[in-house]
Amino acid sequence: MKKTPRYIPAFHFHWMTRWYDPMMQFLFHEEALKTALITQGYIQSGQTVLDVGCGTGTLTLLIRQTQPEAAVYGLDVDPQVLDIARKKVEQAGEIIILRQGSATCLPYPDESFDRVFASLLLHHLTKQDKQRMLKEAFRVLKPGGELHVADFGKPHDSVMWLISWVVRWFEEVHDNILGLLPIFMADAGFNPVVETTCYRTMLGPVALYRACKPM
């Protein structure tokens, strides 16, 4: 039997998963952050969109509701959060294809998607897995497609540096704090890579990035 890959669950512990949605609303500017991420994605009718590390499906649902004429897919390695996502999708009456799988080995053909989204996923991954995930995102995007990422970024002031220094002990967030995510994206082949904005949160700065796959 194929084993589920080792991963860090939502909020680090499985017993915390049931509290994930309310805690996200409390700790982050979740609605503003995810709305901004979708807005910069500029999803068009007929496009195919993948939400990698979709978790409980909050962003995935927002994508579908924002552009009902897009084909939306969600992927997460954690079966527990996928169960929550499926219930939310069913209750909303939406059509979203959810699948269990690893962000470092996406179960999709080359050049399948117009947009790939990853919201607060990369800080769960080791440095090597961050790089693998970004290469996989590049692979499954069509030429001219875009990757849109929201994740912890490099602090821009002393307060955010202090908060980030504490948070770095709890997740694989050190590369984010050093500002390496754009470098990893460029190394995966994306060009250009732009940090579009940065939010101050209770757990440190969360940056939004847009990375394009060249035509």
Q: What is the DSSP letter of 11?
A: G
**Average pLDDT of adjacent 10-residue blocks, the chain of 215 residues:** 48 51 61 92 98 95 96 95 94 96 97 97 93 98 98 74 54 83 98 94 87 97
User: Which of these, 135, 70, 71, lies nearest to 102 by C-alpha position?
Assistant: 135
- The domains located in the chain, with CATH, are 26-212 (3.40.50.150)
* Structure confidence at residue 210 (pLDDT): 98
pTM here is: 0.85
**Cis preceding-peptide flag for 205 (omega within 30 of 0):** no
Query: DSSP labels for 156-201?
Result: -SHHHHHHHHHHTTTSS-HHHHTT-HHHHHHHHT--SEEEEEEEEE
Measure the CA–CA gap between 208 and 110, rounded to whole angstroms: 25
Per the CB < 8 A criterion, the answer to whether 69 and 49 are in contact is no
The pair of structure tokens assigned to 23 is: 């805690």
Interaxial angle between packed helices 181-188 and 127-140, expressed in degrees from 0 to 180 and rounded to the nearest 10: 50
